[in-house]
Amino acid sequence: MHQQHNQRLRVAVIGAGVASPPHFKSLHDLRDEVEVAWVWGRDAQRVAAAGLPVGATVTTRLDDVLADASVQAALVLTPPQTHLHIVEQLAAAGKHVLVEKPLELTLAQSEQLVATCERHGVQLAVMLQHRASPAALHLSSMLQAGELGELLSASASIRWWRPQSYYDQPGRGTLARDGGGVLMTQAIHTLDLLLHLAGAPARVTGLVGTRLHRMETEDTAGALLQWADGAVGVVDATTAAYPGYPERIALNFARGTATLEAGALRVERPGAEPLLVGQPQASGSGANLMGFDHAGHRAVLQDFVQAIAQQRAPLTAGRSALAAHRLIDAIVRSSRTGAAVTL
C-alpha cells in the first residue's frame, strides 16, 4: 500500500474534539498532499460542527473507515485511554497511524500500541510537534554533527498556569482519563524534546505534589536526572505558576550553551557571535489552552505523509515517544518510593 507520488494520501480523522482544530488547520494547509475521506466521532452532529475538511464524510461507525481500502492512514485524536483499542483495529486493517500525545494512559499500554503497529508493518507517529520546530531541527543537526561537544548539564522548565476551572471539567487531571497531571498533559512535549536532543538519562530522582489545585494527580513536579556519562539535569514542571511562562530547555555543553525558549534557539560559544534561530511562539502556557500556532502540527503531519511515501521512520516515530513516558513514570515512581529509579 504505497502512496503514488502524484496522488494525495487518503486519510481518516478519528475524533473531532478539543485536540482537533490545529489538525484540521494543518490538513487544510496540506490539501495538495492529503485528502480527508472520513471523520469519525461518536456524535455526528458535533463532528459536523467541528469544521470539516472539504469532501470528508462524517461517520459514527469505525467499520466504515476500516473497510475503506483507499484510506491509507488515520489521525487518532480521541482521548488517550481510547488509543490502543482504536489503533489495534486500524493497524490490523493496514492503516498507518498518527496519534495525539500521549500514546496511551500507561507505559505498558503505550508499549503494546507501538508493538501492534510494528507487528502489522504500519507507520506510527505521535503528535510531538516541539521536535519539528525550525529551532529544534537546527539544534538537533548541530548536535548530530558534534558541534558543541559533550553534554555537561541540562534543565527543562515548564512553568504553566491552569485555573481551577480547567481541572473542574470531567476527567481533567485524573489517572483514568489523562494518565497523569502536569507531567503527562503539559510537560510531556518539553520532556520529549529534552530526551530527543540529549538522550535518555540513566537515573532519575523525582518529587511530585498537588500544591494548589483540587485534582487527583500532580500539579507540581521536580526531578534530578543523571546520564550514563555523568551529565546531570533538572526538571521543574507546574501548572500553578500564574500567569504562565514560556517553556525552556537549557543544554550546557563543553563548547557552548544552547537555550530553547518558547520555540526560539540561542546558541552561545566562546569567541563567536550568538546564533539565533526561530521566533518566540505563543505556547498555551497560560489560561488560553489553544494559544499556539499550528505550524508544528503541520510539520509533523507533513513529515508523516512523506515518511509513508519514502518508507522511512517519521520524525516523531512511536517507539521514540516511549522515552518521555518512561521518564514521567520514573519521576512519579521515585517520588512515591523515595528512591532513585534506574532507567
Q: What is the pLDDT of residue 1?
A: 47
Give residue 143's identity as a one-letter amino acid code: L
What are the pLDDT digits (tens) for 241-270?
999 999 999 999 999 999 999 989 999 999
How far apart CA 120 and CA 275 sit, in angstroms, is: 44
What are the pLDDT digits (tens) for 212-232?
999 999 999 999 999 999 999
- How many C-beta atoms surround the C-beta of residue 228 within 10 A? 11
Q: What is the pLDDT of residue 43?
A: 87
C-alpha cell at 336: 512515591
In sequence order, what DSSP letters do the residues of 7-63 get, joined into one string?
SPEEEEEE--STT-HHHHHHHHHTTTTEEEEEEE-S-HHHHHTTTPPTT-EEES-HH
How far apart CA 254 and CA 248 sit, in angstroms, is: 20
How far apart CA 146 and CA 316 sit, in angstroms, is: 22
Q: What is the pLDDT of residue 5?
A: 47
In this prediction, residues 329-342 reach a mean pLDDT of 98
Domains, the chain, ranges and CATH? 9-122 (3.40.50.720), 131-288+323-342 (3.30.360.10)
C-alpha cell at 205: 530522582
Q: What is the pLDDT of residue 6?
A: 59
| pTM of the model as a whole | 0.94
Q: State the DSSP code for 283.
A: B
What are the pLDDT digits (tens) for 94-126?
999 999 999 999 999 999 999 999 999 999 999
Paired strand residues for 96 = 73
- Asked whether residue 59 carries a pLDDT value surpassing 90, the answer given is yes
